[in-house]
Amino acid sequence: MKKSRSYVLMLIWFVVLLSFFTACGAPPKEENTADNEPRGNGTLIDEISRRGVLKVGMSTFVPWAMNDKNGQLIGFEIDVAKRLAQDLGVDVEFVPTKWSGIIPALLTGKFDVIIGGMGIRPERSLKVNFTIPYDYSGMAIVANKKTAPGYGSLEEFDNPDVTVVARIGTTAADAAKKYMPNANIKLFDDEAQALQELKTGRAHAMVASAPLPAFQAIENPDTLYLPIPGTFTREPIGFAIRKGEADALNVFNSWIRVVDSEGWLAERKAYWFESRDWQSALE
């Protein structure tokens, strides 16, 4: 009798505690204003200027964003974000985030914008707003010389005996499933793990955004090769921001139009994607 009463008491305390915690956060008014701060729609740019800092969410991915040997971030995306912040008259602050959690982190207000080579996809645009594309990327495939020798087309990989690896949650994973529906697709948390699987011969091929496959084929000439030259998809890349920030969306879109017309984007892209002059900064 006494024991059951203590359990009831415990349950009551649990409910009280729970209601205390849920009471701390005001209930979200709309579905998409899940972020905490009482910022209304269209105030993101004001907030960035007031703070003096643009917080950019990104994920490491060669050559979009990577750590050089001095612990500094370098890459195409980093150049874009730095120039954007400079043109807005604020400092830039990078928040390296795991790719699988990058959209939840944006929605909960951990940073202002994702500039992370994010492909514009209909299902993603239901959760976030995309700017106009500032870059186009495509998928390429790299294969293992031992396990998949002499393949020359995607059809040859579309076979249940073939294992194709890619990074989880990326458009590369979608492309692999779309173009090789019969192949055995294995997904990893980042490219390095997928690449390791390919190099050790447990997989036949890897799908990733260009130019990674080409770079890896150059770096590992004994084990890897490119079965098909160039890319087999073309996808637009945009900044992602929380929904309903029409003002910020307009500012970013205008900025992209300006730097695109200047030729600055193309020039930066050529530096990071066609040359490997930056390689010495890494090692």
Partner 1 sequence: MACRKESLLVRIQGLAVSVGMKVSATRHQLFHAKTKRLRITVDIVSAVIIILFVALFLFRSSQVMHYRWNWKPVVASFFNPRGILLKGFLTTIRLSIWSSIIAFFIGTVVGVGRLVRNRFFRMLSGLYVSLIRNLPPLVLVFIFYFFFSSQLLDPLGIDQAARNASPLVQRILALFLSEPARLTAFLSAVITLGIYEGSYIAEIIQSGIRSVDKGQWEAGYSLGLSSFDRTRLIILPQAARNALPALTGQFISTMKDSSIVSVISIAELTFQGMELTASTYRTLEIWSAVTLLYFLLTFTASILSSRIESGLRKRFAD
In the complex, which residues of this chain contact partner 1 (CB under 8 A)? 6, 9-10, 13-14, 17, 21, 24-25, 35-37, 51-53, 59-62, 66-67, 69-72, 93, 95-98, 101, 104-105, 108-110, 190-193, 195-196, 199-201, 216, 219, 222-223, 282-283
Please say whether the beta carbons of 232 and 154 come within 8 A: yes
CB of 100 to partner 1, least distance (A): 9
CB of 99 to partner 1, least distance (A): 9
Distance CA 237, CA 239 (A): 7
Please identify, using beta-carbon distances, which residue of 219 and 267 lies nearer to partner 1. 219
Q: What is the DSSP letter of 99?
A: G
CB of 63 to partner 1, least distance (A): 10
Q: What is the DSSP letter of 90?
A: S
Helix (H/G/I), strand (E/B), else coil: 78: helix
Q: What is the DSSP letter of 37?
A: S
Please identify, using beta-carbon distances, which residue of 70 and 261 lies nearer to partner 1. 70
Helix (H/G/I), strand (E/B), else coil: 43: coil
CB neighbours (10 Å) of residue 253?
16
Please identify, using beta-carbon distances, which residue of 11 and 258 lies nearer to partner 1. 11
The H or E element that residue 123 is part of is helix 122-125
CB of 200 to partner 1, least distance (A): 5
Q: Which of 253, 233, 9, 247 is nearest to 131 (CA)?
A: 253
Please identify, using beta-carbon distances, which residue of 20 and 234 lies nearer to partner 1. 20
Please identify, using beta-carbon distances, which residue of 52 and 89 lies nearer to partner 1. 52
Helix ranges (DSSP H) in 189-238: 191-199, 212-219
Question: Which positions ≥6 away from 237 have C-beta within 8 Å?
Answer: 117, 118, 119, 120, 133, 134, 135, 136, 137
Please identify, using beta-carbon distances, which residue of 48 and 154 lies nearer to partner 1. 48
What is the CB-side half-sphere exposure of residue 122 using CA atoms within 13 A?
0
CB of 218 to partner 1, least distance (A): 12
CB of 166 to partner 1, least distance (A): 15
